[in-house]
Amino acid sequence: MINGVLVIDKPAGMTSHDVVNRVRRILQEKSVGHLGTLDPMATGVLPLVLGKLTRLAQFYNASEKAYEGEIRFGFATDTYDAEGEPAGPASEARPSLEQVVLVAGRFCGRIMQTPPPFSAKKIGGVPAYKLARKKQEVELQPVEIEVKEFEILGMTEERVRFRARVSSGSYMRSIAHEMGQLLGMGAHLSALRRTAVAEFALSDARTLAEVERESQQGQSEALLIHLRRVLPALPAVTANDDSAAKIRAGRAVNLPEMSSAPRVKVFYGQNQMIAIATRVAGTLFHPRVVFI
């Protein structure tokens, strides 16, 4: 079993589930999960958790994400991106860069956003995209998101490049669509590249070809993120043999050097993360999640 975190640079045209299945076959590891779906059209950072480290996923449900992308003005699509069918007539009007920058400012901060009809959001237990594909009515409720950064980088004819940092659950497709509505000329997301998820960035990412090559050479472990970098907000402590044995048994342990931390990462050796532990009282910690 391979226990670790592997960041993939997802290619366009593959679903996140496709990538998971491909990595399962390459590494011959059944337990593989991802830390946030990326649309098939999009490329970039897709962190995967392997083996017993799949239990880490629960700590990334609210992870911030960063993107670079492109919005095309002139017509909307039913999916809000370049893979959809045109929705309504095309417009010959084009916005100025000043207009785009002004409208973009309305999407910064905490806003209410309606997810796209072609999304994994569920309606009565059924993913919205399944209903949308059958031309059934999709009525999703707005949710609050936070757009921490939305910078317009430049404009060429009808296309605008941007950079953004958003909270979990945000859809850049919806922002593109709503910008087109506000400008009265339709718009859709024409390109998207995810540059970061939580602490994982493009500099950490490996292509599927790299993963296959390293695996064939018996160097799979070299692909993984060093686990001391995972969940950087949590302090790390190294357990001795006695404490490690107690953690394996699910028993509380005394960690004298961690008297004030509410939660810690517990390691055995330099790179074997064995648990996430929660402080019970004083320096007594109980293993909340055990990875061994």
Task: Walk along the chain (292 residues) and give the pLDDT tens digit of each residue.
Answer: 899 999 999 999 999 999 999 999 999 999 999 999 999 999 999 999 999 999 999 999 999 999 999 999 999 999 999 999 999 889 998 999 999 999 999 999 999 999 888 777 777 777 777 777 877 777 788 999 999 999 999 999 899 999 999 999 999 999 999 999 999 999 999 999 999 999 999 999 999 999 999 999 999 999 999 999 999 999 999 999 999 999 999 999 999 888 788 999 999 998 999 999 999 998 999 999 999 8
Q: Is 39 among the catalytic positions? A: yes
Query: Which tokens hold the place of 20?
Result: 């998971």
**What's the CATH number for 234-290?**
2.30.130.10
Fold of 65-197: Pseudouridine synthase (3.30.2350)
pTM of the prediction? 0.92
Catalytic residue among 9, 18, 39, 204: 39
Helix axes 97-104, 172-183, angle to 10 degrees: 120
DSSP for residue 206: B
Close Cβ partners of 135 (under 8 Å, ≥ 6 residues apart): none
Distance between CA 54 and CA 60 in Å, rounded?
11
Q: What is the pLDDT of residue 187?
A: 97
Contact yes or no for 265/235 (Cβ under 8 A): yes
Closest C-alpha among 115, 101, 118, 205 to residue 154 = 101
Domain 4-62+199-228 has CATH 3.40.50.280: no
Q: C-alpha angle with apex 41: 52 to 27, nearest 5 degrees?
A: 30
Residue located via tokens 């050097």: 257
Q: What is the pLDDT of residue 166?
A: 98
- Residue 226: what are its φ and ψ, rounded to 5°? -65, 125
Please check whether the two domains, 4-62+199-228 and 234-290, share a CATH topology: no
Kindly list the domain boundaries of the chain, sorted by start residue.
4-62+199-228, 65-197, 234-290
Distance between CA 247 and CA 127 in Å, rounded?
39
